[in-house]
Amino acid sequence: MVRYYFYAPSPYRVSQRKQGVVSFRLKAYYSEQAYSDKERKEVVRFHELDEVTCRVNLKTAGQYQFEFAHGVDQCVSHWSRSYGELRADMEKWGYRRIDEQNYFRLRKLAIKLLYRHSHRFHYWWGRNKYYYKNESGKDFYELDLCALHYHHRLQQYSPYMQAFLRQANQGPDNILVAETISLFLARDSPGQKQRSQSFKFSLESNRLNHATNWYGW
C-alpha cells in the first residue's frame, strides 16, 4: 500500500500569523491495485486514509475548529486513475505533497493545539446549558455534544422594546451555540477477525464564526 501525504496552508496565512491564527489542512491517500470489470484489467485506485483540519486563534480564547477523520473500512475513493491526476486535483484545492515525517509532525501539532485551546470556549457572562445525543448502533458509536449559551438582553432595550419582545414571544435571552462536538467510531463486532479502523471527530466553537478578525476558508 503506497501512501501520499498532502498539506494545505491557509491562503491568508500572512495576515493570520500577525493575529496569532494557525490554520491548515492535511489529507492522506493510499493506492491499491484493483480489477476493473469495465476496463477488464487491474487499475490503480486511490482511497482517502486520513484528513485533518486545524484552525485556532492563539491570542483570542474560544476561536477554534478541529476535525480529524481516519479510516480504511469506509473510506472515500478518489476519481483519479494515476498519481499525476491525483496531484493535479489536490493542487487545484491548495494542497501540496509533503513527506510522511512532516505530515505526522503537523498532525501532532493539531492534536497538541486541540488539547491546549479547546477548553477555553466558556463565556464569562450569562449561563451555559449542555446537551448530548447518542445514536450509537451495533457496529459503531455516534455521539454529539452541544453547549448553548444564554445571555440576558432585555436590560439593553427601552421599556417599550422590552414589552414588544415579550409580546413577540422572543424571550429575554440571546441564545448562541457555544460549542459542538461530534464523534463517530467503528465498533468491532463479536468474532470479528480484523479490527475496525474508522473514526471521525470534530470540535468547533461558535465564537470562531463570529470573530471579526478571522480569515479562513
Per-residue pLDDT tens over the stretch 58-97: 887 778 899 999 876 546 778 788 889 999 999 999 999 9
- pLDDT above 70 covers a percentage of the chain that reads 73
Query: Residues 6 or more apart from 212 whose CB is under 8 A from it?
Result: none
**Per-residue pLDDT band at 26 (split at 50, 70, 90):** very high
What ranges in 65-205 are assigned the alpha helix state H?
Answer: 83-92, 100-117, 159-167
For the chain, the average pLDDT equals: 79
Return the domain boundaries, the chain: 2-209
Q: 65 near 178, Cβ under 8 Å?
A: no
Q: 139 near 187, Cβ under 8 Å?
A: yes
E strands within the chain?
2-9, 21-36, 41-57, 64-71, 77-78, 96-98, 127-134, 140-152, 173-186, 198-205
Q: 8 near 93, Cβ under 8 Å?
A: yes
What pLDDT, on a 0 to 100 scale, did the predictor assign at position 154?
52
Query: Residues 6 or more apart from 211 whose CB is under 8 A from it?
Result: 57, 60, 63
Q: pTM value?
A: 0.76
pLDDT in tens, 136-164: 988 888 999 988 877 665 555 667 666 77
Comparing 123 with 55, which gets the higher pLDDT? 55
Across 31-43, average pLDDT: 75
Comparing 207 with 167, which gets the higher pLDDT? 167
User: What is the 8-class DSSP label of residue 209?
Assistant: H
Comparing 172 with 217, which gets the higher pLDDT? 172
- Whether 12 has a pLDDT exceeding 90, the answer reads no
